Structure 1
Amino acid sequence: MTDEMIDVKVKNQYGKVLDAKALLHEGAKEIDPSRRIVQQVEYIMVDGEIIRPSIELLFNSERNDCIYRIMEHDSLAALLKTAPQ
Structure 2
Amino acid sequence: MQTWQQLVNGGGIRLTIARWLTPARNWIHSNGIIPDIVVEWNPTTLDEDDDPQLQAAVAHLMEEIAAREAENLAGVASGN
Q: Do the two structures share a fold, i.e. TM-score over 0.5?
A: no
TM-score by length of 2: 0.20
Whose radius of gyration is greater, 1 or 2? 2
User: Which structure carries more helix by proportion?
Assistant: 2
TM-score by length of 1: 0.20
The structure whose RCO (Cα within 8 Å, separation 6+) is larger is 1
